[in-house]
Amino acid sequence: MPALEDEVAVVTGASRGLGRSMVERFSAEGARVTLTARDDDLMDQVAVDLPGESLVVPADVRDADAVERVIERTVERFGRIDTLVNNAGVSLLGLQDSRKRLVDVAESEWDTVLDINLKGTFLFTRATLPHMAERGRGNVINVSSGLGRRAIAGAGPYVSSKWGLEGLTRVTALEGEEDGVNANALDPGGRVDTDIWAHLPDEERAGILPPDVMDDAAVLLAAQGPDGVTGASMTAEGWEERLG
């Protein structure tokens, strides 16, 4: 039997990269999947090839009403939510192909990164937790980064958002534990061949991690029951070793 047979998962940032790969893998493992991102055309292209049932609900993760609509439509369609993957994220490097020291970061640039990477995770988590608590089970998977545990110059907004995400993951775990909800952070373990690194030369991109690097770990986390590991943060390889 597939690992996620008849499970229901919501994946943000589902139109490309890591999110698209996880959606495809979840569907292959038997899950019914809600795809959400801003580009509905790209999501439609992903959904049409999925082997299982899916739902496309466009939304900006910064918009609380749009987030609530994604969750409401998922519950209306599938009856519940078993797994939430907070994957949507941006960096100034991905947006501008360059790093910026703090003194050069515009307030609007700071707000864009923090709102998508951190506020969006909060909004989706807040909207989803009551549905999981009602059933006494669920898994929240927050896509983090090595820069959620260390820092580099020139990536202030991104580093701040991912450190915040790590803390939010632990709070979610503590608050969800009595309701059978696990919350964990998943880090690909290095640079991944996504839009963030589109500026790299082809030969350098060929040497970084593929977009499916987190798929095995994400499936293992999504398959956990109410007594699963919670409040932890590891690379994909680390999760595979712990749960595999």
* Residues marked as catalytic: 158
Which residues does residue 140 pair with via DSSP β-bridges, in sequence order?
84, 183
- Characterize the bridge pairing of strands 32-36 and 8-12: parallel
Give the angle subtended at the CA of 36 by the CAs of 33 and 37, to the nearest 5°: 150
- 213, 189 contact by CB (below 8 A): yes
- 99, 143 contact by CB (below 8 A): no
Which residues does residue 233 pair with via DSSP β-bridges, in sequence order?
185
Q: Compute the distance between CA of residue 203 and CA of residue 200 in angstroms, rounded to an integer.
A: 8
